[in-house]
Amino acid sequence: MADTGKVDQPYTPPPLWYKDAIVYQIHVRTFYDSNGDGVGDFQGLIQKLDYIQNLGVTAIWLLPFYPSPLKDDGYDISDYNSIHPSYGTLDDFRAFLQEAHRRGLHVITEAVVNHTSDQHPWFQESRSSKDNPRRNWYVWSDTDDRYRGVRIIFVDTELSNWSWDPVSKAYYWHRFFSHQPDLNFDNPEVCEAVWNILKFWMEMGVDGMRLDAVPYLVEREGTSCENLPETHEILKFLRKRVDEYFPNRMLLAEANQWPSDVRPYFGEGDECHMAFHFPLMPRMFMGIQLEDRKPIVDILQQTPAIPDMCQWAIFLRNHDELTLEMVTDEERDYMYDSYAKDSSMRINVGIRRRLAPLLDNDRRKIELMNGLLMSLSGTPIVYYGDEIGMGDNIYLGDRKGVRTPMQWSGGWTGGFSLADPERLYSPVVSNIMYCPQAVNVISEQRSAHSLLSWMKLLIRTRRKVKAFGSGTTEFLHPENHRVLAYVRKLGSETILVVNNLSASAQAVEIDLRKFRGAIPVEMSGGSIFPRIGELPYLLTLGPYQFFWFRLRRI
């Protein structure tokens, strides 16, 4: 089907910008409140763009900011072409986009299209009667026994993927909360409507869109209703349109699946440009807990190759729980036991905690995990606040505890807002270890040794290395399995990364014969290490220490 709508396209990002990007994930609501109403907004975000630029990241991913009843923090959208009034106006968004671009920051927004809010006019029409022209925009049934056996994702709140609609006296299908009815992608009108959403935001100038919950677009009897060929057809259709109208824009698949099931979301370079690597994330936490490289190496070795123009998105934490869907039952028990002893830390199939508390606020572990994030294959994503070591509040319900106000300074509201603390959309973290008096941007800016200063250095170092974004990865196999070592290579650039995953000092002998004659230069300080020869290369590492070496040929 050809699209005849005119497209106004003033802007084209550079090709493959996403491959070398470092992404900072932000919720506009949580970042900075400019008008003192207790809710973060676009004008506030604009004021903080210098901070983001200074951090060294190259792209911003924004959580949904559209009109919404906010029963799923904005992932329940009631109008795709507008801005939630408490965050500002479309003009504010345009100003933000312009200011971000002016600073060389790309912007990724959310396309939550598997489902809408039940308050969306489409659903209101669809439910209004069985012969409404929009009836077929959602998935309706007279019984609740179709698609039996399909897993429930929000197991803590939902009992079924069907809910009864008392208005039109039928059941509707939903993979998430019951207030989020799934759109019916078998209807070509829905596909066109979804394209129009992408077009609206890309025309405005967003560089990329995250396709939320993408495995669940299409349902078929007798299947898991996940990753179906028909779903891939729809993605190919959307990608074709994007390429036609908006060259170099990026689509990022949120498919929380095993690597072999995620691989098809890249297609032959004709579906999504990027996809999250979900299974890697818990295995990084397992690796440092077990003090063994095996979980990390195993999952990356099981990860199929992807087309050259594609890229994995990797992360340590995000706005959701640390999901444990893509691990075995045994691994899940181990993760709960290690990282979520208190049941308030658990939600659905995962752990609702931020990075610093997960790692017991151990600066060495936090550095090591960020070092892995910045040196493994993929585009790294840093979740707002994790760069200063923010804490969480596991008692706030749902995933709210990892979405508390950004802590800019030491006041009652953490410098997030001029409103009274009681008025904030969420309480600020107030425990003695992580309250704004203990953890905030201003104080970390004062010290060259703070986590924030260290993160800036790490990010700057990463940006000097093309191989981290686009190079190959070769794992080395030293006998000491507490050490994870790999070589990242692109053209003549060769980087050796050596990580001690354990709490004790380690010595390791690495076979580097194929680099004989090269001189390792440690990248954070520029020190020269002994030339590589025939013998196994001996390194010693302190607890959780890691090295990045540039291998110099002369």
Site residues, Mg ion (CB under 5 A): 33, 35, 37, 39, 41
Q: Does 254 bind ligand BGC (CB under 6 A)?
A: yes
| Smallest separation (angstroms) from ligand BGC to the CB of 152 | 13
Query: Is there binding between residue 110 and ligand BGC (CB under 6 A)?
Result: no
Contact criterion met (CB below 8 Å) for 549 and 530: no
Residues 161-190 close enough to bind ligand BGC by CB under 6 A: 176
Cβ-contact 175, 158 below 8 angstroms: no
- Residue 335 as a binder of ligand BGC (CB under 6 A): the answer is no
Cα–Cα distance, 403 to 332 (Å, whole number): 24
Question: If contact means CB under 5 to 8 A according to the sort of partner, which of ligand BGC, Mg ion, none does residue 444 touch?
Answer: none
Q: Which does 33 bind (CB under 5 to 8 A by kind): ligand BGC, Mg ion, none?
A: Mg ion
Choice among 165, 254, 386, 387 that is catalytic? 254
In the bound state with ligand BGC, the residue whose beta carbon lies nearer, of 20 and 72, is 72
The DSSP 8-state label assigned to residue 290 in this structure reads: H
Cα dist from 121 to 70, 112, 420, whole Å: 16, 16, 35
The answer to whether 212 contacts ligand BGC (rule: CB under 6 A) is: yes
Of 24, 75, 140, 384, the residue at the interface with ligand BGC (CB under 6 A) is 75
Minimum CB separation of residue 51 from Mg ion in Å reads 17
145 is catalytic: no
Q: Using DSSP, state whether 441 is helix, strand or coil.
A: helix
Residue in 212, 219, 226, 321 annotated catalytic:
212
CA distance 413 to 430: 10
Cβ atoms within 10 Å of 482's Cβ, excluding its own:
20
Phi, psi of 263 (to 5 degrees): -50, -45
d(CA 392, CA 387): 14
In the residue annotation, 254 being an active-site residue is answered as: yes
β-bridge partners, 393? none
Say if residue 372 is exposed, middle or buried (CB neighbours under 10 Å; 0-12, 13-18, 19+): buried
Nearer CB in complex with Mg ion: 33/165: 33
| Cβ distance to ligand BGC smaller for residue 214 or 366 | 214
Using Cβ positions, the residue closest to ligand BGC within the complex turns out to be: 75
Q: Which residue number, 175 or 293, has a Cβ lying nearer to ligand BGC?
A: 175
| Beta strands, E only, 70-118 | 106-111
Toward ligand BGC, which CB reaches closer, 176 or 237? 176
Residue 162 touches which of ligand BGC, Mg ion, none (CB < 5 to 8 A by kind)?
A: none
Number of residues that bind ligand BGC (CB under 6 A): 9
Q: Which is nearer to Mg ion, 41 or 367 (CB)?
A: 41
Residue from 26, 28, 213, 306 touching ligand BGC (CB under 6 A): that is 213
Min CB(513)–ligand BGC separation in Å: 46
Residue 320 interacts, among Mg ion, ligand BGC, none and using kind-specific CB cut-offs from 5 to 8 Å, with ligand BGC
Question: Which is nearer to ligand BGC, 226 or 254 (by Cβ)?
Answer: 254
Least distance (Å) from ligand BGC to the CB of residue 153? 8
Q: Extract long-range pairs of 262-266: CB within 8 Å, 24+ residues apart.
A: 263/304, 263/306, 264/227, 264/232, 265/214, 265/232, 265/235, 266/306, 266/307, 266/310
Distance of closest approach, residue 356 Cβ to Mg ion, in angstroms: 26
Per the CB < 8 A criterion, the answer to whether 461 and 56 are in contact is no
176 binds, among ligand BGC, Mg ion, none (CB under 5 to 8 A by kind): ligand BGC
Rounded Cα–Cα distance for residues 532 and 515 (Å) = 7
Burial 248-283 (b: 16+ CB within 10 A, else e): bbbbbbbbbbbbeebbbbbbeeebbbbbbbbbbbbb
What are phi and psi for residue 21, nearest 5 degrees?
A: -80, 155
- Residues in the site for ligand BGC, rule: CB under 6 A? 72, 75, 112, 176, 212-213, 254, 319-320
* Active-site residue set: 212, 254
